[in-house]
Amino acid sequence: MAYYDSLTPYISTGNPDTVNDATNYAPGALGAIYPYQDRTYQVVQLDPDADASSPIGEVEEGQLAYWRNRKLFIVTNDRRLAMELGVEPEPEEEEEDDEKDNGKDKDKDKDKDAPPKPPSAPAGRASLPAPVPVATKTRGTQDPTKSKTKKPVSKRKDGKTIKDTVPDAYRNLVAGIFRTAVKPGNICHILKSGYDIPLPDGGLTFAAGDVLIAGSNATAGIDKVAPGTAPGFRTLGMARGPAEDGIVRADIHID
């Protein structure tokens, strides 16, 4: 990951708050953290699964961005996918082989299908050679002893199952704040720090000095902790005052 102390990576729109690029114009800048005016941003890619089919829907301005893959700098607005907390790996297709259960039956079948032994030749005569069995094969038939049963697997488009209930650890996995609506799989620049940032209040009442943390619901919104109370989760910043018209203004600092 590159950290730009004074240089600014390529910004296709000229404003990091509006970047929503289907093309990664500067692959080497992915993951870069850089200052822009009095704010700090990071170049990331939105998870392709963050689409309208997810419970929260597509990304909207002001939502929290959770890390889905920190190594690849992929973020999501779906708390279930934060660092794969709600992702169940695809189970291996189990095969039930009947050979073990039918071992004894196969031995019996072999004895049953074996050709009869020729009668013993009278004394003084050479024994006739045993008849050679002729192998027969019927088209379209399958040996029932080799049948296998596959258990069905529920899959998403990425081949994995997603749980609706996830541990609260996702509240410690905030990467930044989306500053614009972003399409699935696109490149965007999330806000890491800045002053007087407008955020949806989520219907909460705020006061100056309230500490901000990730919310406990599926809206990718914020929650608050009153001064003097241990937050319990990673802090995101501090409210500057009461909310107005559904917006609370805050000073943000996300490591």
| Residue 36 domain boundaries | 16-88+164-253
Give how many domains the chain has, as a whole number: 1
Q: Is residue 241 part of a domain?
A: yes
pLDDT at 108: 57
Alpha carbons 14 and 20: distance in angstroms, whole number: 12
Alpha-carbon 81 to chain mean position: 5
Report percent pLDDT > 90 for the chain.
52
Alpha carbons 22 and 26: distance in angstroms, whole number: 12
Alpha carbons 134 and 117: distance in angstroms, whole number: 15
Q: Among positive and negative, which fits the CA dihedral 103, 105, 109, 112?
A: positive
Q: Is residue 141 part of a domain?
A: no
Place of tokens 């500490």: 211
Question: Residue range 17-21: average pLDDT?
Answer: 98
Q: Is residue 110 part of a domain?
A: no
pLDDT at 91: 61
Print burial letters for 176-196: b (CB count within 10 Å at least 16), e (below 16).
bbbbbebebebbbbbbbbbee
**Which residues have a Cβ under 8 Å from the Cβ of 248 and sit 6 or more positions away?**
198, 199, 200, 201, 204, 206, 222, 239, 240, 241, 242
Q: Look up residue 155 and give its two tokens.
A: 């899959």
Residue 154 has pLDDT above 50, yes or no: no
pLDDT at 237: 96
pLDDT at 153: 33
**Which residues have a Cβ under 8 Å from the Cβ of 33 and sit 6 or more positions away?**
1, 2, 3, 4, 40, 41, 42, 192
Q: Is residue 138 part of a domain?
A: no
Q: Is residue 203 part of a domain?
A: yes
pLDDT in tens, 170-194: 888 999 999 999 999 999 999 999 9
Alpha carbons 232 and 224: distance in angstroms, whole number: 11
Question: Residue range 131-141: average pLDDT?
Answer: 53
Mean pLDDT of the chain: 80
pLDDT at 88: 64
Q: Is residue 125 part of a domain?
A: no
**Which residues have a Cβ under 8 Å from the Cβ of 234 and sit 6 or more positions away?**
171, 172, 174, 213, 214, 255
Residue with the bigger pLDDT between 140 and 230: it is 230
Q: Is residue 99 part of a domain?
A: no
Alpha carbons 13 and 4: distance in angstroms, whole number: 19
pLDDT in tens, 75-118: 999 888 887 765 666 666 555 555 555 555 555 555 566 666 65
Residue 218 has pLDDT above 70, yes or no: yes
Question: Residue range 221-250: average pLDDT?
Answer: 93
Q: Look up residue 182 and give its two tokens.
A: 């972003």
pLDDT at 11: 95
Q: Is residue 153 part of a domain?
A: no
